[in-house]
Amino acid sequence: MGRTGGAVVGIALVMGCGARAVPPNDVRKAARCVEAPVASVSASAAPSEAPAVEAPRGPVATAVPDGYGDCSGVRHADSNGLDASQLAAARAGAWLWPPRCGEVSGWAGIGMVMSGQAAAFSADGKRFVGCGAWGDVCDVVDLGRDVVVQRVTSAWPDGVDGSPVTSTPTVKKLLRQLGAPAPEGRFPYLDDVRVSWKVGDGGGSLYVSFVLLATGDERIVHRFPGHAVASEQPLVLTGARLSPDGGVLELDVFSGQGGTGFEIALVNVHAEAAALFRSAPDPEAWAKKAGKAEEQARRVARSFIE
């Protein structure tokens, strides 16, 4: 995996076609899996130096992108900040606001593709396993040391639709050894911050941000897809999960056939919260919380594998 020239706190993995292992759809034909272009992974700077990813700005969009027709409260990347009603909803909501919503349009073989992927944190929160990034491979990443510490081969799921890769003997054993998937942790900045998401390019790009509840200030922490070009098909946020200690946020997106496939990003929660506090209109008022967050951020890798 290559590096970009910028400094980003967080880890981004492009996982090829498919998605996190879920019960497959009832389809009867195999389909061509369109691989996602490999995204660059950034070396990370100190938390306070990490620049935000800029979302496009312009007129407020009103049309609901394809894939989000049954969702309420979809945010648009070209809107200019949060209005009063959105900020009130964010304060009243859970740590992820708006809730995940959207649906990937069905196509022949989607169940087979989706069942070929899996991702989970270990019970101790120090490792992360991702299956399907490079064919029939599951990588175990040490989040603190910035390295792949274990790699196993996993057979493509069996059956007409494909049973989840997590049910294969090799992967079952791996997950058992890691105590994965671990129970989800608590978001550590619930009093001050919400994780939010919004879509752009007609659903072909998706931005994840941290919102400061006191002011409505927003910091984009990751953009999907992991390269500059928008997806040919709408991207749907299929997963948003916290590590057991709440310090790492896992984000999954999936697009239909002809899109960018399945992508995962891992975000250093403390580092991004610190950067949000530092960029607030009155940074001195947030200095103490920013300092504590920066201290916590150093427990997670500040760069990632080549």
HEC string of 185-242 equals CCCCCCCCEEEEEEEEHHHCEEEEEEEECCCCCEEEEEEECCCCCCCCCCEEEEEEEE
The whole-number average pLDDT for the span 241-246 is 95
Percent of the chain with pLDDT over 70: 75
* Number of domains observed in the structure of the chain: 1
Predicted pLDDT at 40? 27
> pLDDT (tens digit, 9 = 90+) per residue, 74-133?
898 887 778 889 999 999 999 999 999 888 877 777 878 788 888 999 999 999 998 876
Q: Is residue 6 part of a domain?
A: no
Q: Strand 11-14's sheet: what is its strand order? A: 11-14, 262-268, 248-255, 235-242
pLDDT at position 159: 65
Domain region containing 254:
11-297
Q: How does 97-110 read in b/e, with b if 16+ C-beta sit within 10 Å?
A: bbeeebebeebebb
Range in 154-158, 177-181, 200-204 the model is least confident about: 154-158
The answer as to whether 136 is a domain residue is: yes
Confirm whether 306 is domain-assigned: no
Torsion of CA 130, 135, 136, 138, to 10 degrees: -20
Residue 279: the pLDDT is 95
- Split at pLDDT 50, 70, 90, the class of 270 is very high
Q: Dump pLDDT digits (tens) for 283-298.
A: 999 999 999 999 999 8
Res 5 pLDDT > 60 = no
Q: b/e string for 20-51 if b means 16 or more Cβ within 10 A?
A: bbbebbebeeeeebbebeebebbebbebbebe
Supply the pLDDT for residue 30: 25
Query: Does 305 score more than 60 pLDDT?
Result: no
| Residue 302 included in any domain | no
Q: Is it the case that residue 192 has pLDDT exceeding 90?
A: yes
Reported pTM: 0.80
Residue 303 domain-assigned (yes or no): no
Domain-embedded: residue 305? no
**Contact between 204 and 144 (Cβ < 8 Å):** no
Is 304 among the domain residues?
Answer: no
